[in-house]
Structure 1
């Protein structure tokens, strides 16, 4: 730890060190206040760049630009096939710039650069490729009406309009793609609002969009604080839809703010994903899978496997295996290609996670491994496993967003009893089941209340699979054909013949 920071490539260094404005209507502009926000490398705590702090007047300009592009001009006249070709070109450019984008994401978010290249950039490009094909396949259907008479009835799917795409700090590229790719495919226009902690990759996306030929106003990027730029976007009467990923608290505020013009809202609000290990699980595959599920990106993943329910017959073996796997993680700066575990995003996040640990231990949880800060520079933390937890402990029921696993054993082999434990949560985003018994796996999958249930794996994402949660994990779905529905309105047309 505290080793010299690995060097950036000249391309990434040139971009990061440049002045960063707002991208509105195809132009790079300063915020009207000219205020800026420090961008911090979480591995060092040092300021690496500054971004513009947009206010409500800047948001007004961005909404006007997006509205003009939606209502008239080249974008409004494009066919689905033309939009698809442009989206595909955008995806190819991301692949071409994968190394640079991975470095930007690594230093901005603190994630290992190797993961950033193959997960963040790779998955993002795949999402745009997937939706480039959808752009020419959005259609309604003919309908046989029930009333007597001679009628021709059909439905049409039309773009919902101007979309505020608000992404969090943990996966800026991927979670922007979840929103931007389908909204572009349907013909909407976008105002991207990245987290003030990690705006760099979104600003680079805007440059790439400009290079590949998206018309002005189709993609706009407004950086700033959530309480200023974010709130102005959500409340704006010119915004037709908000697509948001973030905390439950902020999601509830967005719902309240959206009532002004009853704008459409989709919300992905995080989770407390259970991992259920049945006694017959293949532990050679299960143990490394569980470790990856909780420690990937330092546990700063909305679907991270944070709750472990493991049969008592294998409980100790599984926890010892996860603890041993954690020793193999190389903690370091994300730009070091050997790093497999980076820092938490901020000092505040590190303090929050450590506070949860203190609460867990005070409530009777047993520390199996980890639990401490690593080094004095940056916001690093040891991978941590807690045993003897119960569902009423804060470490088990609240989203920590750090590398902390809350484990507990069970004896009752009833699938109903196991599912009841897993479902005892306000969240319902994802879950995983680990077993050789495929019949038990599918029966249990039906009982678990989560938007994604993975069997003998965790954190599997594919653009064809809908993603979203039950309960307080959100509203609606991203990805797959479901996303097309969320960015379109359905119009029914009926002609008397």
Structure 2
């Protein structure tokens, strides 16, 4: 394993190109600045120093990207699935060959610890391989028979699509959205989050160097109110896949309404982990700690509400507190670091404001320190645990999106279900119990798109990923991704000379 000093030296070498050249758009296979020359500055959450000047795109830039995607669509859609499969596998190979570069750049761009980002490229490559293998069968449908008729269904790519990705784990999430779009035969205009634009630039370069035709994948950088709005309103963009805040999702839906834009939203969460007294408490504590404090707590599927049966509440929260207090906070390139700096000073203030709010609401800050100062003046926050929380408190209802866990006791199964469901979100839930009948009963009641029983979040790519309520619309994964990026056609064939109604007065 490389040392911190070795990692930092390599990271600085990889980042040098962005410092000197900036982050450009990629439109029609060409690296271009914004048409008006505007840029914005991207800073590292590690030390708040500038990383790069980034193209600040507006509507004219999005127009060019949409035109390029529209022009490239017919040939890409017509390409045989086997050919797309081979090309997407080449992209996966190229991603893996640059895994170290991707990981180190992502760490400095997002503040995520290397122990997690070291797998970002491998997970991204896995996403490409998974959907590449499904590309040949993406248009397959069904044969539906009725007397005198055979119906055949097929699917066709919907057209150019927009993909808007978030700033947490941006590389992996970009591949998760873009790989199935390409496998389905769609062309793409990608707008990454302005807080973490660097690896999106690497990714589109990797794809085109691997042989992806020009214009199939276009990149426009910028802010949501400019580039994002222009993309969601553009008439040539047939669908928007978005990962981010619920509030932004509602704006995108409004902006896309005039063009009847199809949308897929993976939005926020305030996910419960429910621990009953009969659970394996050691494993449950490890899983609860992992799901809130890994990735700096900046993940939509984090288990941010800890619901614990009253009889074990004090014991279990003490177990979690002990584990949380031992987590190392530090520079993301230090191999020992678990929690790095949060993405941006604006977000750090949001999280620390919630720490102050929780105490003002009457909860006990059992672990954590709102005044913690990390190395190099970055956006650091210690892992925090609130005990004595009431589910009506804002810290229990609102998505904090940081390493902050709130612990709430419950008396019985009915109260646990009521508490778990008493939020506007419904992305995931985690249940810990040794009673299999309870597991069936409880998961039936839980309002969430995904539930793990006696497990942390372990993704199986063929399964559906998505939430209910304010946590999203639609599902990713397996064939569900193709259902979003493709239109279904039905073709009916007459198999006999059936009677055709006549309207000329001689029949009926």
What is aligned with 2:347? 349
2:66 to 63, 66, 73: 63
TM-score w.r.t. length of structure 1: 0.95
What SS does the aligned partner of 1:39 have? strand
What is aligned with 1:31? 34
What is aligned with 2:116? 115
Query: Aligned ranges for residues 440-455 of structure 1 at < 5 Å?
Result: 440-455=438-453
CA contact (8 A) 1:91 1:125 kept: yes
Moved more, 352-361 or 98-107: 352-361
State the alpha-carbon separation in 2 of the partners of residues 20 and 409 from structure 1: 48
CA contact (8 A) 1:162 1:188 kept: yes
What SS does the aligned partner of 1:457 have? coil
What is aligned with 2:127? 127
Gaps of 5+ in 2: 496-508
What is aligned with 1:253? 251
CA contact (8 A) 2:355 2:370 kept: no
Is 1:401 equivalent to 2:401 in the alignment?
yes
What is aligned with 2:500? none
Who wins on radius of gyration, i.e. which is larger? 2
What SS does the aligned partner of 1:408 have? strand
State the alpha-carbon separation in 1 of the partners of residues 369 and 335 from structure 2: 25
CA contact (8 A) 1:373 1:380 kept: no
State the alpha-carbon separation in 2 of the partners of residues 77 and 352 from structure 1: 47
2:468 to 461, 470, 474: 470
Query: Aligned ranges for residues 75-474 of structure 1 at < 5 Å?
Result: 75-118=76-119, 120-138=120-138, 139-145=140-146, 150-375=148-373, 377-412=377-412, 414=413, 416-474=414-472
What SS does the aligned partner of 1:6 have? helix
2:9 to 7, 11, 29: 7
CA contact (8 A) 1:102 1:114 kept: no
State the alpha-carbon separation in 1 of the partners of residues 271 and 95 from structure 2: 31
State the alpha-carbon separation in 1 of the partners of residues 133 and 17 from structure 2: 31
CA contact (8 A) 1:126 1:463 kept: no
Query: Aligned ranges for residues 32-51 of structure 1 at < 5 Å?
Result: 32-51=35-54
TM-score w.r.t. length of structure 2: 0.93
1:52 to 55, 61, 64: 55
What SS does the aligned partner of 2:10 have? coil
1:19 CA drift (Å)? 2.8
State the alpha-carbon separation in 2 of the partners of residues 87 and 434 from structure 1: 39
What SS does the aligned partner of 2:329 have? coil
State the alpha-carbon separation in 2 of the partners of residues 183 and 10 from structure 1: 33
Gaps of 5+ in 1: none
1:14 CA drift (Å)? 4.1
What SS does the aligned partner of 1:89 have? helix
Moved more, 62-71 or 314-323: 314-323
CA contact (8 A) 1:16 1:104 kept: no
CA contact (8 A) 1:155 1:493 kept: yes
Alpha-carbon spacing, 1:124–1:35, altered in 2? closer, same or farther (3 Å): same
State the alpha-carbon separation in 2 of the partners of residues 34 and 463 from structure 1: 41
CA contact (8 A) 2:77 2:157 kept: no
What SS does the aligned partner of 2:356 have? helix
Is 1:21 equivalent to 2:24 in the alignment?
yes
What SS does the aligned partner of 1:135 have? helix
State the alpha-carbon separation in 2 of the partners of residues 357 and 383 from structure 1: 11
1:10 CA drift (Å)? 6.7
CA contact (8 A) 1:11 1:100 kept: no
Q: Which digits, 9 at most, give the CA deviation of each residue in 1:162-186, with x for residues without a partner?
A: 1100000002112112211111111
CA contact (8 A) 1:135 1:185 kept: yes
CA contact (8 A) 2:15 2:51 kept: no
Q: Which digits, 9 at most, give the CA deviation of each residue in 1:473-496, with x for residues without a partner?
A: 010011121111111101111233
What SS does the aligned partner of 1:372 have? coil
Q: Which digits, 9 at most, give the CA deviation of each residue in 1:425-478, with x for residues without a partner?
A: 110000101122233223211211101101122222232121110101010011
What SS does the aligned partner of 2:352 have? helix
1:9 CA drift (Å)? 4.2
CA contact (8 A) 2:356 2:370 kept: no
Aligned residue pair count: 487
State the alpha-carbon separation in 2 of the partners of residues 356 and 255 from structure 1: 28
Q: Which digits, 9 at most, give the CA deviation of each residue in 1:344-365, with x for residues without a partner?
A: 1111111111112222111111
State the alpha-carbon separation in 2 of the partners of residues 317 and 403 from structure 1: 21
Q: Which digits, 9 at most, give the CA deviation of each residue in 1:119-163, with x for residues without a partner?
A: x22222111111011101121111224xx6x33321110001111
What SS does the aligned partner of 1:144 have? strand
